[in-house]
Amino acid sequence: MAMKLGGGSGRYTIAQNADINVTPFVDVMLVLLIIFMVSIPAATVSIKLDMPPADGKASKSHTPVFISVMGPDDIYIGAQKTSRDHLIGDVAAALRIADPETPPAEQRVLVRGDKDIAYADFVQVINELQQNGYKKIGLINEDIG
């Protein structure tokens, strides 16, 4: 608290000063302002999103193609069972049925895995899709029952 010397009845009478010393307050505010000015540009990192163009038309809703990985060689495309050897051909056929106008490699594929499957088996399916040109792969986190 600030003190005021002088005045009053005695030679060294000390009275309280009711004025606020704003210098430390301004110093703290300037330091916080500089910290926020430096940290804000780093916090606005852009993330590339694959959004459809805003042309005002309603987009066609396609039936999604689900790939369910239940085991190393226990893979389902929708309700149809397939194997890793036939995976790419069966996925292309299912995507042609879902949207005949768009090439299969440009369509979105949704992959989900059983909770008991090994991670390596799940990733092998995704890697095989990517190696064959399927770049729009979505992962689904839900129970397969």
pTM of the predicted protein model: 0.56
Model confidence at 16, in pLDDT bands (50, 70, 90)? Answer: confident
Tokens encoding 66: 């689900």
pLDDT of residue 58: 58
Work out the angle at residue 135's Cα, subtended by the Cα atoms of residues 108 and 110, and round it to the nearest 5 degrees.
Answer: 35
User: Alpha helix locations (H) across the chain?
Assistant: 23-43, 87-98, 119-131
User: pLDDT for 86-143, tens place per residue?
Assistant: 888 999 888 888 888 888 878 888 999 888 888 888 999 999 999 988 888 888 886 6
